[in-house]
């Protein structure tokens, strides 16, 4: 049975209203529901940084933000390759950008997904980290019995690497050891498919040297396997530049990768990829919220951790997002710049868990009716929102640039 009925909710956002600034949005709309403000120039800048600096081809990790305006601006900025992790993402990108390249880089998929992605949507690149998943991909695509089909596939073995320096580790869920990965590479060649390697150093990686460590481990797997790689994907983990965390320039990451790749002495026709999500999306979106009630140093706002502010619920998450507050002053919208104080913030649902897990700094005279702009929330805000309690932020505007 086809499983493509599983889909990401979509809406028609082809003709967004455009404004000069976030202040202009508040002035003209006086929104009582959350609004996503899109900054096209930020997406152009982020895409250009990777296209010009990364020593290979950049794909965008769709999971970071699948909103149509985000995808459209990245595509228009030159990102034509997408890391998809579900059939819903496969279908979204294929229908929106028919000429885009899709790589199904989730190492474990829902049963039937690989076959449908291959047959219906033209996906030829798949990640895996076990013999069982290799068998599944070969069976579902028909490659197990047809060498012609097998020769069309590039199969990426996910190698487990240390997560030193990453704020969120990803090694405990996916990835095989060096010896197991080497064995999988040999099995891929025996099956008639193209062998490739991939890894992920963890989300919001603060150390460029983490990529050197990971690529050195790739070298060990390549040597043990004795195969010639068709492709190598260094994954994601490239950081966003937030408050309260010290992050080296992206050039240092690119240099570390470039030097490590040279040491591997890969075949000349080996393709090199990366799959940033956060680093391409973070700066391109603000969430405009409104204060519903103030009670001493506690405020209630119209968005929360079940909506766009889910990263405020991450344990031990040191990142802080820039905030601006706007208020109606005699019928005119102005930015509040009073001395700041610490506030507890509840979201709009009836759940007491809907609370930001740390205090936020706001003007001490903030009041009900004021608007708070949460900046640099382009990564994971839209992607992780829910419709819990009937609240579902879904209004987008564009800030002219």
**Quick one: pLDDT at residue 5?**
45
What mean pLDDT, rounded, does the chain reach? 95
**Quick one: pLDDT at residue 14?**
64
What's the CA dihedral at 301, 305, 306, 311 to 10 degrees?
A: 140
Q: Two tokens at 266?
A: 């890969």
Are residues 250 and 162 located together in one domain of the fold? yes
- pLDDT exceeds cutoff 70 at 6: no
Q: Final residue of a domain: which of 258, 274, 290?
A: 274
Mean pLDDT within 367-379: 98
Residue 248 lies in a domain: yes
Tens digit of each residue's pLDDT (9 = 90 or more) over 236-257: 999 999 999 999 999 999 999 9
Please enumerate, as own/partner, the contacts of 293-296 that have beta carbons within 8 Å and a separation of 24 or more.
Answer: 293/368, 294/366, 294/367, 294/368
What are the distances in angstroms from CA 167 to CA 38, 229, 245, 257, 391? 26, 30, 10, 20, 29
Are residues 125 and 232 located together in one domain of the fold? yes
Are residues 205 and 236 located together in one domain of the fold? yes
**Domain that includes residue 190, residue range:** 106-274
Q: Final residue of a domain: which of 274, 298, 315?
A: 274
Q: Domain tally for the chain?
A: 2
Tens digit of each residue's pLDDT (9 = 90 or more) over 39-71: 999 999 999 999 999 999 999 999 999 999 999
Mean pLDDT within 182-190: 98
At 57 the three-state DSSP class reads strand
Domain with 363 in it: what CATH number? Answer: 2.40.37.10
Tens digit of each residue's pLDDT (9 = 90 or more) over 212-233: 999 999 999 999 999 999 999 9
Mean pLDDT within 170-180: 94
Are residues 264 and 307 located together in one domain of the fold? no
Are residues 115 and 259 located together in one domain of the fold? yes
Are residues 183 and 249 located together in one domain of the fold? yes
Confidence of residue 10 (pLDDT cuts 50, 70, 90): low
Are residues 297 and 252 located together in one domain of the fold? no
Residue 181 lies in a domain: yes
Are residues 300 and 324 located together in one domain of the fold? yes
The partner residues of 127 in beta bridges, in order of sequence, read 156
**Quick one: pLDDT at residue 4?**
47
- pLDDT exceeds cutoff 60 at 122: yes
Counting residues of the chain whose pLDDT is more than 70, the rounded percentage is 97
**Quick one: pLDDT at residue 9?**
58
Residue 390 lies in a domain: yes
Tens digit of each residue's pLDDT (9 = 90 or more) over 279-298: 999 999 999 999 999 999 99
Are residues 290 and 237 located together in one domain of the fold? no
Phi-psi region of 142 (alpha: psi -120 to 50; beta: other; left: phi over 0): left
Q: Final residue of a domain: which of 221, 253, 274?
A: 274
**Quick one: pLDDT at residue 91?**
96
Sheet containing strand 81-84, edge to edge, reads: 57-58, 271-274, 231-233, 194-198, 154-158, 125-128, 101-104, 81-84, 60-61
Are residues 190 and 322 located together in one domain of the fold? no
Tens digit of each residue's pLDDT (9 = 90 or more) over 302-337: 999 999 999 999 999 999 999 999 999 999 999 999
Confidence of residue 25 (pLDDT cuts 50, 70, 90): very high
Domain with 203 in it: what CATH number? Answer: 3.20.20.10
Rounded CA separation 139/131 (Å): 12
Are residues 119 and 231 located together in one domain of the fold? yes
Query: Are the C-beta atoms of residues 239 and 278 closer than 8 Å to each other?
Result: yes
- pLDDT exceeds cutoff 60 at 11: no
**Quick one: pLDDT at residue 8?**
64
Residue 232 lies in a domain: yes
DSSP 266-334: --TT-EEEE--SHHHHGGGEEEEEEEEEEETTEEEES--TTTT-GGGGSTT---B--EEEEEEETTEEE
Residue 24 lies in a domain: yes
Q: Two tokens at 88?
A: 């819903």
Cβ neighbours for 240, distance < 8 A, ≥ 6 positions apart: 204, 247, 278, 279, 282, 283, 319, 376, 379
Residue 333 lies in a domain: yes
**Quick one: pLDDT at residue 164?**
85
Confidence of residue 163 (pLDDT cuts 50, 70, 90): confident
Residue 238 lies in a domain: yes
**Quick one: pLDDT at residue 301?**
98
At 124 the three-state DSSP class reads coil
Please enumerate, as own/partner, the contacts of 141-146 that have beta carbons within 8 Å and a separation of 24 or more.
Answer: 141/114, 141/115, 142/115, 142/118, 143/191, 143/192, 143/193, 144/191
- pLDDT exceeds cutoff 60 at 183: yes
Are residues 245 and 322 located together in one domain of the fold? no
Residue 312 lies in a domain: yes
- pLDDT exceeds cutoff 80 at 1: no
């Amino acid at each position: 049975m086809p499983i493509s009925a599983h889909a990401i909710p979509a809406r028609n956002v082809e003709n967004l209203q455009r404004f000069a600034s976030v202040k202009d949005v508040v002035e003209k709309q006086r929104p009582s529901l959350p609004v996503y403000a899109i900054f096209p120039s930020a997406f152009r800048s982020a895409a250009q940084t990777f296209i010009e600096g990364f020593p290979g081809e950049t794909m965008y990790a769709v999971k970071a933000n699948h909103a149509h305006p985000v995808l459209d601006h990245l595509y228009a900025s030159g990102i034509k390759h997408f890391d998809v992790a579900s059939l819903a993402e496969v279908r979204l990108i294929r229908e929106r950008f028919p000429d885009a390249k899709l790589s199904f880089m989730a190492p474990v998929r829902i049963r039937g997904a690989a076959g449908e992605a291959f047959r219906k949507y033209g996906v030829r690149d798949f990640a895996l980290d076990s013999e069982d998943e290799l068998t599944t991909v070969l069976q579902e695509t028909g490659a197990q019995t047809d060498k012609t089909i097998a020769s069309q596939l590039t199969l990426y073995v996910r190698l487990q690497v240390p997560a030193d320096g990453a704020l969120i580790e990803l090694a405990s869920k996916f990835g095989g050891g060096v010896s197991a990965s080497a064995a999988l590479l040999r099995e891929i060649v025996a099956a008639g498919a193209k062998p490739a390697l991939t890894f992920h150093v963890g989300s919001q990686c603060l150390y460029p040297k983490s990529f050197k460590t990971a690529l050195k481990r790739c070298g060990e797997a390549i040597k043990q396997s004795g195969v010639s790689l068709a492709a190598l994907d260094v994954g994601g983990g490239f950081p966003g530049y937030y408050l309260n965390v010290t992050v080296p320039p992206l050039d240092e990451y690119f240099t570390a990768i470039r030097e490590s790749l040279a040491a591997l002495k890969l075949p000349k026709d080996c393709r090199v990829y990366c799959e940033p999500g956060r680093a391409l999306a973070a700066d391109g979106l603000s969430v405009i919220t409104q204060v519903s009630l103030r009670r001493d140093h506690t405020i209630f706002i119209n968005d929360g951790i079940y909506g766009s502010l889910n990263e405020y619920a991450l344990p031990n998450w040191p990142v802080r997002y820039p905030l601006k507050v706007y208020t109606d002053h005699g019928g005119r919208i102005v930015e509040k710049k009073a001395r700041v104080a610490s506030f507890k913030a509840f979201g709009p649902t009836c759940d007491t868990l809907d609370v930001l897990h740390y205090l936020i700094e706001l003007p001490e005279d903030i009041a009900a009716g004021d608007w708070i702009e949460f900046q640099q929330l382009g990564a994971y805000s839209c992607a992780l929102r829910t419709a819990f309690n009937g609240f579902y932020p879904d209004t987008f505007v564009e800030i002219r640039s």
